[in-house]
Amino acid sequence: MQGLSVRVRGIVQGVGFRPFVFQLAERYGLNGWVRSTDGQIEIEVDGSGEALAGFLHDLREGTPRLARIEAIDSEDRPVSDYTTFEIVEARVGAGWRALPADSAACDACLEEISNPSERRHRYPFTNCGHCGPRFTIIEDLPYDRSRTTMACFEMCEDCRSEYEDPRDRRFHARPLACPACGPRVWLQRPNGEAVEGDAIEACVALLAAGQVVALKGPGGFRLACDAADAEAVARLRGRQRRYGKPFALMVPDLEWAKRLCEITPREAGELESRERPIVLLRRRAAGGVAEEVAPGLDTLGLMLPCTPLHYLLLRRFDRPLVMASGNVNGEPVAMGNREALERLSAVADAFLLHNRDIVARYDDSVVRVIADSVVPIRRGRGLAPTVLDLPFAAAQHILAVGAQRRNAFCLVKGSKAVVGPHIGNLDDPETLDQFERSVELFERLLEVKPDVIAHDMHPDYLSSHLANEYPAPSALRVVVQHHHAHVVSAMAEHGVREPVIGVVYDGRGYGPDGAIWGGEVLIADWKSFQRVAHLRYAPMLGGETVIHKPYRMATGYIWSLCRACEVDFEEFLGRVPIGERILLRRQLETGLDTPPTSSCGRLFDAAAALLGVRIEAQYEGQPARQLEAVADPAVHAVYPYDILRDGEGWIIDPAATLRALWCELRAGRPVPTIAAALHNTVADFTRNVCVAIREKRGLKKVVLSGGCFQNALLTRRVLDGLSDDGFEVLTHRLVPPNDGGIALGQAVVAYARTAGI
Ligand code: ZN
Ligand code: ZN
Ligand code: FE
């Protein structure tokens, strides 16, 4: 007989780890105990050397579905003469980082809901220790049913015996429930009138009849309708006042996904992952989905069912459903029943409701496979919160408030960074409210009291006001430039600390010179940056209004940078709405309300307008997404551009590129060819600038960040160009390249500046 003590670190709490250990000990005939302590699992076992070896082996190999093991440490100790194996009381202070995010239903639970002889047959809230809701229902820690929104449901005797049986997969599964004791689902009309019959059957019938149904999902409401029914989709758009923006679809299974889209094994893996994100996929020409679902795009956002409720629904409906966010006109997604009934009654024909409350709103996560890597686009349900290991241990607690749009905040405590869920656009007062509640919840859960608060440099951003007015007057405020934060967020993901070349192509970020930056090449480390190259400034006629009026961006570009084409300018002006021509001319001549920008996103806007792909935009980034959609990836042509010396650095002047684009169009060259060449040109000047920097400064590592790198074609071209030239290129894997990722960068910059490294 020998004794062994084992410590397991990682996500090992709330994931069925202790029953897993219990069953292993039983299988190998070991005595001793297991308990959780401060986010770790501690085990002591006595047994034969062979049995202990087998136990350790299976501990490593048989990890429960939701667990993520960081390390298993074991050491010999004297035998203790244990006579049983027991799960002993947890030691308090159970660490926050031990918790997983929500997870899709596991196979065993799906089996149960499909089996008529099971008591959970067709029960929408079936879950177990290996699946189900977590962060969306947790009100406080330590993790216990009494501190979740399941507290109000008294367990029945059957459930309780499962809960207390270490051999059962529902042992200590806090959200466990059954039809006898758990939450229930019902269907009602906006006026409160109940719809008779089985809620799911009735819901399917309404959807099949072209109606819009508001569904209470895991992290908030969604609006569903038949994706094949063009009229239903158009009706939903009209009621939601959401035009142009693509809708995500939920498909019954992988086979359906393959019918609609071309899917690589990598992408299939993402679709089927327990996080169940929306995966952006290349759409097939024919597919039986209304064009209105994703107008003008070559991609569709698909997801598989996640909760038992969705499985039941999709199995019966048996074809794709539109799953739009449950909101109107960009407001936050409705979360509570009453809130949904108030805000969505003009949008939905019926409501599929239930009585399990949601604590925190989690939008659906979105990912895209770009150049063989899975890139998060939005981190919500399943993906958030994300816990990252930092290559340092901060003595202070840090809160980074993130960006103004696509906001997500970040908290740093010790050597861990926790990036919160996607919040949205802080311009909206309700979203702002959501931000404050979410930060408060996480600070409580993680026991963080910020000593340092990091925020963006933009003086007018609400996020900056929030940081300044944050109720911690003595906390240090650290201001971080937008694109510096972008670069450092990618560096932190990869644990890189030494200076890199940071290529940041995005929509807009405040520059220290007061201009709007967004086509930037920086030399950056955690503490500081130097702007070595940028796109030449072009005027934004009317400031941020250009985002919806790309023709204004094109006008500004042609006028100020392409003077040689004065004739063309007159011709192009012919496309500008008559009422605006005089105004734009005056703005061009006086410079009134025309802030300069080096934004790469705006360059794509201008190009889309010039090519007639998108004269006006229904949402930010639409012109670029449509350019990517039409571009012919077989084209490798590059258009001319200029790189001008500017002191120690360079200015990239795309005037010649736009001129070429215009001339090619007039010469009858197909738009797909021209659109591709634009992407290639950006990749080409990026490579040349990086080569020049390497020659001067010897830097060989390049980080790519910014919203433009959600564009798969652009990312591939830039990556290929740089790799061919021998650069090591780092891209985002954990946080989004868009503004949803910058809080991490802000936090790390704040750490570096305040820790004096
Ligand atoms: Zn399960
Ligand atoms: Zn029960
Ligand atoms: Fe940005």
28-32: which pairs have CB atoms within 8 A and are 24 or more residues apart? Answer: 28/52, 28/54, 28/55, 28/58, 30/55, 30/85, 31/82, 31/83, 31/84, 31/85, 32/80, 32/82, 32/85, 32/86
Q: Between 622 and 465, where is the model more confident?
A: 622
The position carrying tokens 């960068």 is 745
In the reported structure, the alpha carbon of residue 378 is separated from the centroid of ligand 3 by a whole-number distance in angstroms of 14
pLDDT tens by residue, 71-127: 999 999 999 989 999 998 877 654 555 567 899 999 999 999 999 999 999 999 999
Which ligand does the CA of 489 lie closest to? 3
CA distances from 365 to 477, 511, 518 (A): 31, 30, 25
pLDDT band at 445 (very low <50, low <70, confident <90, very high): confident
Expressed in angstroms and rounded, the spacing between residue 486 Cα and the centre of ligand 3 is 7
- Among 424-438, 533-547, 713-727, name the one with the lowest average pLDDT: 424-438
Contacts of 623 (CB under 8 A, 6+ apart): 550, 604, 605, 607, 608, 609, 613, 614, 617
Radius of gyration of the chain (CA): 27
Q: What is the pLDDT of residue 459?
A: 87
Residue 456 falls inside a structural domain: yes
160 contacts: CB under 8 Å, gap ≥ 6: none
Mean pLDDT for the stretch of residues 536-547: 94
pLDDT tens digits along 235-292: 999 999 999 999 999 999 999 999 999 999 999 999 999 999 999 999 998 778 999 9
**Same domain flag for 179 and 191:** no
Classify residue 329: in a domain, yes or no.
yes
Q: Distance (Å, rounded) from C-alpha 673 to C-alpha 684? A: 16
Separation of 377 CA from ligand 3 center, angstroms? 13
Between residues 539 and 99, the one the model is more confident about: 539
Closest CA to 163 of 304, 19, 326: 19
Q: Give residue for tokens 């399943």.
A: 382
412, 392 contact by CB (below 8 A): no
Q: Which ligand is nearest to the CA of 160?
A: 2
Ligand 1 centroid distance, CA of 112 (Å): 9
Cα atoms found within 13 Å of the Cα of residue 341, Cβ hemisphere only? 14
Kindly state whether residues 160 and 192 are assigned to the same domain. Answer: no
Looking at residue 386, what is its pLDDT?
84
Same domain, 470 and 413: yes
Q: Are residues 246 and 287 in the same domain?
A: yes
Per the model's pLDDT, the better-predicted residue between 473 and 451 turns out to be: 451
Does the pLDDT value for residue 20 go beyond 50? yes
Measured in angstroms, how far is the CA atom of residue 276 from the centroid of ligand 1? 15
Nearest ligand atom owner, CA of 456: 3
* Host H or E run for residue 185: strand 185-188
**Cα 181 to middle of ligand 2, angstroms:** 4
Considering every ligand atom shown, identify the ligand nearest to the alpha carbon of residue 103 and give its number.
1
3-class state of residue 137 by DSSP: coil
pLDDT the model gives residue 564: 57
Domain boundary among 354, 387, 419: 354
- Residue 183 Cα, ligand 2 centroid: separation in angstroms? 10
Peptide bond into 295 cis (omega under 30): no
Rounded to 5 degrees, what angle do the CA atoms 173, 178, 179 make? 165
Which CATH number is 162's domain given? Answer: 3.90.870.30
CATH of the domain at 466: 3.30.420.360
Contact 281, 265 (CB under 8 A): no
Contacts of 91 (CB under 8 A, 6+ apart): 35, 36, 37, 38
Task: Please check the confidence at residue 21 and state whether its pLDDT lies above 90.
Answer: yes
Check if the beta carbon of residue 21 is closer than 8 Å to that of residue 34.
yes
- Asked if residue 249 and residue 146 are part of one domain, the reply reads no
Separation of CA 172 and ligand 2 centre (Å): 14
pLDDT above 90 for 566:
no
Ligand 1 centre to CA of 167 (Å) is: 14
Check pLDDT > 90 for residue 558.
no
Of all ligands present, the nearest one to the C-alpha of 126 is 1
Q: How far is the C-alpha of 375 from the C-alpha of 48, rounded, in Å?
A: 47
- pLDDT exceeds 50 at position 709: yes
Do 234 and 335 lie in one domain? The reply is: yes
Domain-terminating residue out of 37, 66, 87:
87
CB 744 within 8 A of CB 410: yes
DSSP code for 583: H
C-alpha 424/C-alpha 405 separation (Å) is 6
Report the CATH number at residue 70: 3.30.70.100
Would you state the pLDDT for residue 97? 56
Is the residue at 675 inside a domain? no
What mean pLDDT do residues 153-157 have? 97
What is d(CA 197, CA 187) in angstroms, rounded to the nearest whole number? 9
Spell out a b/e string for 378-398, using b for 16 or more CB atoms within 10 Å of the CB, else e: bbbbbbbbbbbebebebebbb
For position 322, which CATH number holds? 3.90.870.40
Q: Is the pLDDT of residue 61 over 70?
A: yes
Same domain for 331 and 209, yes or no, is: yes
Measure CA 504 to chain center. 19
Task: For residues 245 and 329, state if they share a domain.
Answer: yes
Tell me, in angstroms, the distance from the centre of ligand 2 to residue 159's CA: 4
Distance 314 CA to ligand 1 centre (A): 18
Q: Is the model more confident about 604 or about 389?
A: 604
Number of compact structural domains in the chain: 4
Give residue 94's pLDDT: 43
Distance 157 CA to ligand 2 centre (A): 7
Residue 487 pLDDT: 98
Higher pLDDT, 576 or 489: 489
Q: In whole angstroms, how far apart are CA 431 and each of 264, 338, 369, 386, 488?
A: 36, 18, 29, 21, 26
Average pLDDT taken over every residue of the chain: 93
Domain end, chosen from 325, 354, 383, is at: 354
Ligand closest to 181 (CA) is 2
Q: Calculate how far, in angstroms, residue 109's C-alpha sits from the geometric centre of ligand 1.
A: 4
Token pair 């790309």 is found at 550
Residues 177 and 189 in one domain: no
136 & 191 share domain: no
In contact, 750 and 715? CB cutoff 8 Å: no
Residue 538 bridge partners (DSSP)? 597
Structure tokens at 377: 């686009």
Query: Looking at the predicted structure, is the pLDDT value of residue 444 above 50?
Result: yes
The ligand with the least distance to the CA atom of 519 is: 3
Which pLDDT score is estimated for 92? 62
Q: How far is CA 256 from CA 211, 321, 513, 640, in A?
A: 22, 11, 51, 44
Cα 538 to Cα 536: distance, rounded to the nearest angstrom? 6
> Which residue segment(s) compose the domain that 256 sits in?
185-354
Considering the domain architecture, whether residues 207 and 149 belong to the same structural domain is answered as no
Instruction: Choose among 136, 117, 261: nearest CA to 125.
Output: 136
Decide if 701 is inside a domain.
no
User: If you measure from the C-alpha of residue 130 to the centroid of ligand 1, how many angstroms do you get, rounded to a whole number?
Assistant: 5
Contacts (Cβ under 8 Å, ≥6 apart) of 277: 270, 303, 364, 365, 366, 367, 376, 382, 383
pLDDT reported for residue 291: 92
Predicted pLDDT of residue 96: 52
Give 422 Cα–ligand 3 centroid separation in angstroms: 15
Please check whether residue 693 lies inside any domain of the structure: no
For residues 559 and 192, the model is more confident at: 192
Please indicate, yes or no, whether residues 74 and 190 belong to a single structural domain of this protein. no
